């Protein structure tokens, strides 16, 4: 009978230690623990979904902005390329043959640095003479 009491005592101490360990790791009330875990998982899922949506919207915004800038540059280049080739309208009106003006690479770079609205040098593109 004494060994039965000892076994019972050892078993109750082991059960108590197990309960204390789970209470320390997961909290005291197992029902509350399940509810809190579910809410934490739901909030984490909502946060991850919001982050993914924000990344998608940001990527879409940046690609749209870059595409608009690219289209604007192509439009500006097409309008700037028009005056580079002279159809010879003045020469044709004077009775001569139409002459095509050939521009060199340096003229292209100079024209690219001029403002399209005013035809003046842009402040950050001022040529330096030295």
Q: 31-82 pLDDT, tens per residue?
A: 666 777 788 889 999 999 999 999 999 999 999 999 999 999 999 988 887 6
Q: Is the pLDDT of residue 115 over 70?
A: no
- In angstroms, the CA 34 to CA 27 distance is 10
For residues 33 and 27, the answer to whether their CB atoms sit within 8 Å is: yes
Mean pLDDT of 84-107: 49
DSSP assignments along the chain, one per residue: -HHHHHHHHHHHHHHHHHHHHHHHHH-S-HHHHHHHHHHHHHHHHHHHHHHHHHHHHHHHHHHHHHHHHHHHHHHHHHHHHGGGS---HHHHHTTS---PPP--HHHHHHHHHB-TTT-SBPGGG-----
């Amino acid at each position: 009978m004494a060994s039965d009491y000892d076994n019972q005592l050892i078993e109750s101490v082991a059960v108590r230690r197990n309960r204390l360990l789970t209470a320390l790791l997961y909290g005291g009330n197992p029902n509350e623990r399940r509810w809190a875990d579910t809410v934490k998982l739901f909030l984490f899922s909502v946060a991850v979904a919001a982050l993914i949506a924000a990344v998608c919207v940001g990527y879409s915004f940046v690609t749209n902005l870059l595409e608009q800038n690219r289209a604007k540059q192509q439009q500006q280049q097409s309008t700037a390329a028009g005056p580079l080739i002279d159809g010879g309208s003045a020469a044709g009106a004077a009775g001569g043959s139409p002459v095509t003006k050939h521009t060199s690479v340096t003229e292209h770079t100079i024209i690219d640095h001029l403002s399209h609205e005013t035809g003046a040098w842009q402040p950050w593109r001022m040529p330096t003479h030295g």
